[in-house]
Chain A
């Protein structure tokens, strides 16, 4: 594609033009093709029961896992965005106490691996049988709950994923807020807006445009991170694949079915990312044309775009 532009330029300048033949390209393509064939042959010769993949793909347990993974990823991401926004505002505030609290939070939850955090939340009942809050007035207990009733695998997973992700979202949102042109804030203040009016009316709406692309990336990551939750035997896609193949030796076919599901979910998330980016473009002065959802879907992957042109 690039060389076409060069030829056009040469033509417009009245220079002689000649397409350059890139011999390296067919050679590289051939090598890659060879490699793919090799890998396919390897998998073909391996003893894999491919016929079982569709069966596992639509197994009730697998569908339950897919639904649980979607639920968990969306809920954890949403909570992380809310908590992250609060943390970002705290980190940018002039109050040194809230700044430090937010900094320590981000430092801590970014440092703790999600897997470790998951195991800790899930196993908390070992050391804390009951969650109790004393009532200062009656002397009794205001809250008295069995830890295992509260920290179900789902709740433990939600807490661990949200804590980790909110630390990342805090950084993303902070960068978005700092990316807003200071002139915009000056204009808002000169009109007599207070700082929270400026934040609500100017800073956050404009920061959103900067925050959306990395946040969509985070959502895609989150979908895949739900697979970690299999270690606390919450039924999501990976755990479903494990259980479906536990009784036989169809481990690889079951995992292949899981891979297909991850591909589908991530592809949908990518479509959604492109669509929402197009919709928010004018919030910061980008192109104003709004694409239909379908157009956005087709544009999501550039190989579609190449075909279109």
Chain B
């Protein structure tokens, strides 16, 4: 796509600014997306048998330039049908499957009929359906369903697809399922993949990637036991009592690409409103567990903070409403995003100063922007939503009140806050420690679903946050903010690729950053610069000869500053392009050198070893080691005393 100049982008952003759109009851006027995949769904939940019976009518339009002779559907829940799915096989690489699985714990999704209506009359394709495994040819995987069309659907063709199915709600797995009376129903309906000019983009369900679908209108009628509060994507439009002790709630939302819902008789409902002068107001609805009743305001505060800062930095949240679900204990549904609905996640004991629930609410609210509004392909480029959002989340957390390191004890129930350790953005919120351990495990440009499952998240979340924050410290926040806001505005309600992002970054920065993206995105090399030598000795003439050797220990390169500080307070800063393996700087001064630092401003946050970045001729290493070994010794003494109970 041809890049627009920045001023043109700004004009465009005003022209399509969501804040200028009217939204009432889930309707968005004028439309924000192409709405080429719309779903009208009727679903009935039987909590006793944990079964859902449903039917849907999909109105799909071919918006590509090619004809297509089949349809492809995601049937996510079949990933948990048995242990042979690709999802289960990948998950088994990371963790041992639960030993206590019972037959009713599994999920399943069985299509009972599928009819397609195109230019001719309806055609029943039920008997022609077959499962395919485009990613790994796993014949046992049943998460992608292929329906051959009776005749090819050319560009612009509209098809109406009627699907009926039954599904079994699993014991919680991957943010979906039921525990007790809490039901969280996500990834639950047969959903079309995305048809691109290159063909269907409809990946199997993998252990560490989740979404990609077209925008449309969702009109969903959910039948649940009477009196059970429901939270769902969109806005409730109708509530109808049935004669069988159930009631049907209709939720409606335009310009979204997914739909999730939840119900539980225990949920408490709280409401609040986000208002800010330059942003559209948002009605906040919180479905809260009774044991967390006192934490309602913490949830709202997180959502308000994210809506305000993301809104100011990137663009406004257009939908006017947001539902926050506080999931049940052991539901595994916490920390997840769906259009206009997020799940938070808190604990019964959550003292002030700990990160959650605010952090998780901020992160998931942030996904309304990067995932919900900018519809990148999470199967292939998970960093474009998770990574960018982690970067922004870290920035938001840094702007909030102090948060401290905490640890949970006694089976993970009892928290303790270490007030000496304030969590900072550069290391903690960007999750540097996790990245350090996984830095070379995968190139980020590898399709995300092919990442090694145990470390994929670290490449997706942590590395992106670090390289974006590095860009911020290198090019300045205005450049990164404009890059992200331009990306947000230009690609809202569309499907951007990584190249689209890089083009915008180059354009906004006014320079070619490809060498940087080649390393952080297309490569898996690590950055590690350090001071190898610092010598400063009298030369006999009343002056001191100082030698500083800075070395590139990692394979990746980045220009860095090298600062030498002398005893008289003088500082000399050199700029090194960082390409050679080492560089020598020699100074003749009247004062002796005190310190030498590579990258003293800590621009390169991807540097995996910060300790070697500096040297001083007045080292405190011994003193620090004494202090910390004494603290550790007390821990050990206490540890020994706990064992002495055996004697």
Report if A and B associate in a common complex. no
Give B residues with C-beta under 8 Å from A: none
Give A residues with C-beta under 8 Å from B: none
